[in-house]
Amino acid sequence: MMNDISKYDQRLDAYRFFLIMEKGLGEKTIAAYQSDLMKFGQFLTDNKVDCIVEIDSGFILKYLIHLRTRGLNARSRARHLASIRGFFKFLTNEKIIGKNPTQRIDTPKTVLHLPDVLSISDVEALIAAPDHNKPEGVRDIAMLELLYGAGLRVSELIHMEINALNQDAGFIRVLGKGSKERVIPVGRMALTSIKTYLTQARPLLLKNRSSVYLFVTRRGHCMTRQSFWYLIGRYGKLAKLKKKITPHSLRHSFATHLLEGGADLRAVQMMLGHADIATTQIYTHVAQTQLVQAHKKYHPRG
């Protein structure tokens, strides 16, 4: 097969010749490109990529996330992306591949400017911060568990209706941006905390009133975004976390911990409810059973 990954080194040699003869680049610049591309080639091997045409923008983004977890700053990641982009442009021009998978990926300075990732111990400390002897504390523990356990947006969390939760199947239905519904697995720890909240705290908060919302205040309403932002910031201080904590901190940590654990990027993308990183279609082929398996296997609290 002409695009077999075993020919990767040959493609690099051809690209090096192109940079020398056509671009007239200096040896140091070419050596830097080659070094970046050799590291990318090792990542292909580690991830058992067999064919160049299998590499899509999702895989490129996964590599950039890998570089970030290795400690590379935005400038270094941008340089790696530039090296990869130039290489795939060459492969496209030479008709070796039909489409450049880097075309729709912006530089890390704009797209991958992400908040700090909480460590697992930070997450545990944050979840342990609310007072479990008070109904509000039991509720807040369940909210934090679900926010981290399912990677929800804060608006999705506070507006979630009680009938969106299927405790027996371990799923929640989420209505995300653009009124797009997705189904997300919920880990055992989050389910346990939610069950405790539903049986012990929610009735005390409602006081014989009814509400369609899963998480309620003492007035029987759903919590506001501002209130939850305040709560999570306060719990961050109680947990003595040095990082600034926002609801998105847990959503980003959810995704990062799954990816660092080896979860497939497409499965994580579906759980997050992002519209795409290249095309939406590449994420629609992951079955719900596969999502459950990925969540249980890779999520720290799954």
Phi, psi of 66 (to 5 degrees): -60, -45
Assess whether 274 carries a catalytic annotation: yes
Assess whether 153 carries a catalytic annotation: yes
Active-site annotation holder among 70, 75, 109, 177: 177
Question: CA-CA distance, 38 to 20, in Å (whole number)?
Answer: 18
Assess whether 80 carries a catalytic annotation: no
Active-site annotation holder among 11, 153, 159, 252: 153
Active-site annotation holder among 251, 257, 295, 299: 251
DSSP strand pairing (181-185 vs 165-166): unpaired
Active-site annotation holder among 132, 225, 234, 274: 274
Assess whether 234 carries a catalytic annotation: no
Active-site annotation holder among 283, 295, 299, 301: 283
Residues 6+ apart with CB under 8 A from 176: 153, 156, 182, 273
Question: CA-CA distance, 174 to 150, in Å (whole number)?
Answer: 10
Active-site annotation holder among 7, 16, 225, 248: 248
Residues tagged active-site: 153, 177, 248, 251, 274, 283
